[in-house]
Amino acid sequence: MLINSVTILIMNNIIGSIQKIDLKDIDENNFSPRHVGCIVLSHDNKIVLQQRDQDAYTFPNCLATFGGRIEESENPMDALVRELNEELGAKVDEKNVISLGTIIEHDGNNKTLIYVYFWQDKENTITGCYEGEARYYENKEAAFAHPKIMEDVKWLLFECDRRGFFKK
C-alpha cells in the first residue's frame, strides 16, 4: 500500500508524541529503562492487542501492544521473546520476528526508547493472555475505535499496514 500525503498528515496529527529514530543518532545508554513493543497477528490474521486492566500500575484501561521492559542482561530480541511468552504463552522463533525500528515516545518531560516489532503467530502457539485481556481486531480501523488506544499502537498499526502485513 502506498501512503499518500493525506495519510501522512493524518499520521502526523494522530501520532504526535512518537518519533522514529535511527540508533546511530543516539546513545541507547541514555535511556533507562528501555522497552520492546510488538504488534501481534494471530494465525488467522487478526490483530492481537492487550487491553490493560483498570487497576494496572501503568496505562490502566489502555489498549497496548505486548512487550515490556528490557532487563539488564537482555538484548531487545531476548526481551521480546520473553515478554511474548509471559504475556501470551507464545513460542516465538526470532527468525519470524520483523523489526520495525526504534521509536521514542515523548510523554511530558519523559522520553521512552522502544524497540518495535511485528510477529505473526503462524504456528498458533498463543495459549492465552496472562496480562490484561487479549483483544482481536479484523483491521487497524477497528482498533482505532478504542477510546484509549496508546500512541505507539497507532504508529505501529500504520507502519504494519504500510508494509502490507495485514491481509485484506
Domain that holds residue 107: 16-22+32-162
Cell of 99: 523489526
In a domain, 6, yes or no: no
Rounded to a whole number of angstroms, the CA Rg of the chain reads 15
The string of pLDDT tens digits covering residues 28-59 is: 888 888 999 999 999 999 999 999 999 888 88
Identify the H or E element spanning 160: helix 151-162
pLDDT the model gives residue 4 = 42
pLDDT the model gives residue 105 = 86
Listed as ranges, residues in the chain with pLDDT below 70 are 1-16, 108, 168
When divided into structural domains, the chain yields a total of 1
In a domain, 87, yes or no: yes
Judge whether 152 and 11 are in contact, CB under 8 Å. no
Judge whether 51 and 7 are in contact, CB under 8 Å. no
DSSP H helices, 34-75, are none
In a domain, 54, yes or no: yes
We report the CATH number of the domain holding residue 108 as: 3.90.79.10
pLDDT the model gives residue 168 = 64
pLDDT the model gives residue 58 = 83
Please report, for the chain, how many H helices and E strands are present, in that order: 4, 8
In a domain, 2, yes or no: no
What are the b/e assignments for 97-115, b being 16+ CB within 10 Å? beebebbbbeeeeeebbbb
In a domain, 91, yes or no: yes
In a domain, 167, yes or no: no
In a domain, 11, yes or no: no
In a domain, 5, yes or no: no
